[in-house]
Structure 1
Amino acid sequence: MTTEPFWTGLVDDAAIFPPGDAELATAAEAYAARTGDAATLTGSFVVRDTDLPALPAGFAGPLTVVVTGGAGQLAGPAALCARRGLPLAGLDVALRDLDDLPGNARRVVAAVDAARAEGVLDEDVAVHVELPQSEATYAWLAAADEVAAAELRLKLRTGGLEAFQHPPAPLLATWIDAALDRETPFRCTAGLHRALRHAGEDGAERHGFLNLLAATRRAFEGAGADEVVATLEDRDLRPDPAELAAGRRWFTSFGSCSVEEPMADIRALGVG
């Protein structure tokens, strides 16, 4: 019996997003042409809702669509994908009303429910709600409660173009804990090109996707906050592939503008 590697579908191809900024047609062609281990590593192709009209006809890969507006604009991309025969696997929507995060989350939930009731959005399309890069305040946690109660998923931003956009390990650990407390799967975006914790060219600490997988599994198994933080910060981590595979139950994937870098690290560490 063949067992799939833990990294199957781990990386969502976000080549058109910064800092990659690839041209849409070129990125879509590269996605479709990918073979071997790189194809196994790749999950969905990530686009903005505004990119959908320009997506090449006949694109067959699963799509994750980032909604650039609010809850009221959630149904439109789903309907467009249906009309064009595009395989929609997921929708990402960010909470932008920082003064009322729980209310914003409820509006997203209502929009999802309406789109599904109207037959515009299939039940099996994963909807990820991005919470802001902030402390897990009462409002932040209340918004996470709304997402979990509706059986939607969370999206965590683990990096960005600026040094300050890379959350410190203790903060990321609280986000992971919040997701696990609510038994809510999550995907991540930005800053996870490399397998292990490292410093970028600007000196800012970057998270490693293997650190995050191992930390998620250890937190789920009851590890304390200090151990989870230490796992996130471990530059010499050598986790067992079985532990990493178990972490995928909750940390499902991450968006990256590069597939080659994550694949190279997996091979170099011999965990594939």
Structure 2
Amino acid sequence: MIPELFAGLCDDAAVFPPGLAPLPDALTAHDTYKKAWYTGLVGPLVLAAPALDALGDLLGPRETPLAVAVTLPGGPAQLPGVLAAAETLPVDLRALEIAVPEGMGPDELLEAVSAANAPVYVEIPRDERCLPLLRALAGTGHRAKFRTGGVRADLYPGEAELASAIRAAAEAGVPFKATAGLHHALRNTDPETGFEQHGFLNLLLAAGDPGCAETLLAERDGAVVAAAVRELDPDVRARFTSFGTCSISDPLTELAALGLLPRGEA
């Protein structure tokens, strides 16, 4: 059994970098996860809007609709097409992750996503639009999406920047998810690239105590992090809903190594 604290924590982003799994392979693997003992850890399969065009031929008849989260990198203009495509497919649309076009203000964005029939995660830009957007999302039922890494070092926000965003989201009462660069449970330096990478457990701790977020994001000691995670109330997941990962086996294995999941089953 997966503890309540980790339920649905890992959104399956296998088709995105650095994994870049072909869609047929990602579908097969996702179906395998949903039959495994650790299925409770796994959230929806994350796909970019254009991938919906290929799903019809790949899915075929299904007993259970495929749970998906769809990213809209082109912004709200892609929303009508995504909603129409989802209506024709055997999918359960769990979330929409929408980028904010340059020049689009908070009010215009909220109006543009008003037709959404699934939870909307607004990708928060790392610029002066961050705080106004988070404040505008307060009380709307919409959520935030923070990018925590990428293929270049500059795409990784520092601890202070990410901590500030987490505090702002908490103050606004806006839940958030995270995506990109969360390859490990703990804060680390990637040995191949030298990139300073955030740990997904560090984010979980920061969501639980936003006032100490910067310190918690910087902690690299596995024993310290694991001990603090054991003390977390599962209600923290109302703040930090999930993170996208191109590997399900890696977080599963690392949680087991930290004693947070049974070693024998991972």
Taking structure 1 as the reference length, the TM-score comes to 0.86
The residue type equivalent to 1:194 in the other structure is: H
Partner SS, residue 255 of structure 1: strand
Q: Which of 201, 215, 228 in structure 2 is aligned with 1:230? A: 215
Residue equivalent to 2:193: 202
- Which residues of structure 1 form unaligned runs of 5+? 116-120
The residue type equivalent to 2:50 in the other structure is: T
Q: CA separation of 1:196/1:244 partners in 2, compared to 1, >3 Å: closer, same or farther?
A: farther
Cα displacement (A) at 1:149: 4.2
The residue type equivalent to 2:194 in the other structure is: G
- CA–CA separation in structure 1 for the residues paired with 2:43 and 2:9: 6
**Corresponding position: 1:15 with 2:9:** no
Percent identity, aligned pairs only?
Answer: 36
**Corresponding position: 1:188 with 2:178:** yes
1:106-117 correspondence runs (5 A) = 106-113=107-114, 115=115
Residue equivalent to 1:215: 206
Q: Which of 246, 256, 262 in structure 2 is aligned with 1:257? A: 246
Q: Would you say the 8 A contact 1:13–1:43 is kept in 2? A: yes
Q: Would you say the 8 A contact 1:50–1:68 is kept in 2? A: no
Q: Would you say the 8 A contact 2:11–2:44 is kept in 1? A: yes
The residue type equivalent to 2:109 in the other structure is: V
Partner SS, residue 184 of structure 1: coil
Q: Would you say the 8 A contact 1:192–1:208 is kept in 2? A: yes
Partner SS, residue 31 of structure 1: helix
Q: Would you say the 8 A contact 1:213–1:244 is kept in 2? A: no
**Corresponding position: 1:92 with 2:83:** no
Cα displacement (A) at 1:66: 0.5
Cα displacement (A) at 1:106: 2.4
Cα displacement (A) at 1:159: 0.7
Cα displacement (A) at 1:146: 1.9
Partner SS, residue 87 of structure 1: strand
The residue type equivalent to 2:25 in the other structure is: T
1:57-206 correspondence runs (5 A) = 57=59, 58=61, 60-97=65-102, 100=103, 103=105, 105-113=106-114, 115=115, 121-122=116-117, 125-134=118-127, 137=128, 139-200=129-190, 201-206=192-197
Q: Would you say the 8 A contact 2:2–2:41 is kept in 1? A: no
Q: Would you say the 8 A contact 1:68–1:93 is kept in 2? A: yes
- Which residues of structure 2 form unaligned runs of 5+? 262-266
The runs of 4+ residues in structure 1 deviating greater than 4 Å are none
Cα displacement (A) at 1:178: 0.9
Cα displacement (A) at 1:86: 1.7
Q: Over aligned residue pairs, what C-alpha RMSD do you find?
A: 1.8
Cα displacement (A) at 1:189: 0.3
**Corresponding position: 1:241 with 2:234:** no
The worse-fitting range, judged by mean Cα deviation, of 242-251 and 74-83 is 242-251
Cα displacement (A) at 1:244: 6.0
The residue type equivalent to 1:128 in the other structure is: Y
- CA–CA separation in structure 1 for the residues paired with 2:134 and 2:73: 20
The residue type equivalent to 1:80 in the other structure is: A
The Cα offsets for residues 4-27 of structure 1, whole Å up to 9 and x where unpaired, read as 431111010000001100000110
Residue equivalent to 1:118: none
